[in-house]
Structure 1
Amino acid sequence: MELTGKTALVTGAAGGIGSAIAAALVQAGAHVLAVDRDADSAARLAQTLGASCEAMVADLSDAEAVRVLAHTAEAKRGAIDILVNNAGILSPNKLATTTLEEWHRLMAINLDAALLLTQAAMPGMIAKRWGRVINIASYAWKSGGLTAGTAYAVSKAALVGLTYSTARELAPKGVTANAIAPAYVVSPMIMEQLSEEDRNRQLAAIPVGRLCEPEEVAHTVRFLASPLSGFMTGVVIDMNGGLQFG
């Protein structure tokens, strides 16, 4: 139970990847604040994971709602020790069909919320001289998106940039910042928003012959949150099944 006494805030916690992350952190001994826009799904997750998980509801596309979330989380548990910026939305629209409205919405959820929550968590982490910021990026950040759209790919590339900047600034203060870049995780976002043709084409291109499982991402989050990861910061962990060599 290497995270006993630590508080973790996980966004997008009721989704496939988020719920696996929340479960892994609870198993490691952390108290998890599970944030999702779907109140019912967040409540079910908290009920499943027990007293070490609390549901919180927020619309991460609203900057003021994100600030309120951060304030409420601190009021509940004090400083956040582990911040997992997992929430994200996907769009398949490429350059010519990406609207400014869509662009702004993706950036608000996929990037702006991560910035605001990192800013909010920083003071408590610095005061303790211990903290973990873990950003869930995507292989799309360096692949141009493949089946993902332009706004999504750019938002994930920017999230990696935020990870690097956070790591550089906070390393002397005992806080690490790392990112995980999975390719095609078995999740509703992938299974429902990509066409069967796109899914089959990408599956054929992955050398290991399968999609990534949410629990594999969660295992990596648990490692990055652990005390034994303290010498790793500013790292992007690729989880792509060899896709980059295809």
Structure 2
Amino acid sequence: MTATTNRLAVVTGAAGTMGQAITRQLLADGHRVAAIDLKLEMLAPLAAEAPDRIIPLAIDISDADAVESAWNSLNAAHGPVTILVNNAGLLSNNKAEQSSPEEWRRIMAVNLDGPFYLSRMALRDMRAEKWGRIVNICSLSMKTGGLTAGTAYAASKGGLGVLTFSLARESAAQGITVNGIAPGYVLTPMVTEQLTEEQRQAQLRDIPVGRFCGADEVAHCVSYLAGPNAGFITGEIIDMNGGMLMD
């Protein structure tokens, strides 16, 4: 076992389509994974695939105290975390006038506050280890303002992008990289269930490669950014949108 494997990773939103793909890829890379979602029963099928290497945790990541308590317990039982993937997110397609203050606050709490709380804890571990990787799952909407996504969602992902830059700047000299991935239209329930067939066909016409992104493709990108060969990449947002936006 080398120093580049058997690290302890944390993946949020691990019960979802993309979270499962990321968790499986990190397992394939030789790491252990603390898989986080709201309820343990949501994680049970995934945890059963590798019970000796997946640690299921039920945490509301929008609760700062719950995050800190769970993190400290994880450290005590399994050691420091050196890979964090902030994948959990809530989607809203409501534009400004249709977005209630309660919806705005909930979207921000999960999509932006949660990654901040988790990153604070992760940086403590990573600085002690003098090595770390944080990967934030952002969104195409942060650069487009939201084509089909709503105002709160686009704003939360924009905030996550800036959080990425800020954390990268403050931790770069400590062996820690912080990067984001901005997928556009991944084949998850956000596309298959929360968009109409008309919206899906319209988006397919606008994607130059002519298809939606696969969750496994995002997972492979996470794998690279979380690995030893990406140590000179930090503060970067990698676009995965099939050519919809080129910058």
TM-score by length of 2: 0.96
Aligned to 1:218: 219
**Farther-moved stretch of structure 1 (23-32 vs 192-201):** 192-201
- The answer as to whether partners of 2:61 and 2:117 remain within 8 angstroms in 1 is no
Task: Verify: 1:13 aligned to 2:14, yes or no.
Answer: yes
Give 1:70 shift. 1.9
Task: Verify: 1:36 aligned to 2:37, yes or no.
Answer: yes
- The answer as to whether partners of 1:46 and 1:54 remain within 8 angstroms in 2 is yes
Aligned to 1:200: 201
Pairwise mapping of residues 109-128 of structure 1 onto structure 2 (< 5 A)?
109-128=110-129
Indicate the structure with greater helix content. Answer: 1
Give the letter for the 1:139 counterpart: L
Give 1:235 shift. 0.5
- The answer as to whether partners of 1:89 and 1:189 remain within 8 angstroms in 2 is no
Give the letter for the 1:31 counterpart: R
Secondary structure of the equivalent of 1:116?
helix
Give 1:59 shift. 1.7
- The answer as to whether partners of 1:181 and 1:236 remain within 8 angstroms in 2 is yes
TM-score by length of 1: 0.96
Give 1:127 shift. 1.1
Give the letter for the 1:67 counterpart: E
Percent of aligned pairs with the same amino acid? 49
- The answer as to whether partners of 2:139 and 2:183 remain within 8 angstroms in 1 is yes
Give the letter for the 2:165 counterpart: Y
Alignment gaps of 5+ in structure 1: none
Aligned to 1:137: 138
CA distance in 2, matches of 1:17, 1:49: 17
CA distance in 2, matches of 1:91, 1:171: 33
- The answer as to whether partners of 2:207 and 2:244 remain within 8 angstroms in 1 is yes
Give the letter for the 2:141 counterpart: A
Moved over 6 A (4+): none
Task: Verify: 1:99 aligned to 2:73, yes or no.
Answer: no
Alignment gaps of 5+ in structure 2: none
Secondary structure of the equivalent of 1:133?
strand
Give the letter for the 2:213 counterpart: C
- The answer as to whether partners of 1:182 and 1:238 remain within 8 angstroms in 2 is yes
Aligned to 1:78: 79
Aligned to 2:171: 170
- The answer as to whether partners of 2:94 and 2:150 remain within 8 angstroms in 1 is yes
Give 1:209 shift. 0.6
How many pairs were matched up? 245
Give 1:121 shift. 1.1
Map Cα deviations across residues 157-216 of structure 1 (whole Å, 9 max, x no partner).
Answer: 000000000000000111000000000000122211122221111111101010000000
Secondary structure of the equivalent of 2:113?
helix
**Farther-moved stretch of structure 1 (103-112 vs 44-53):** 44-53
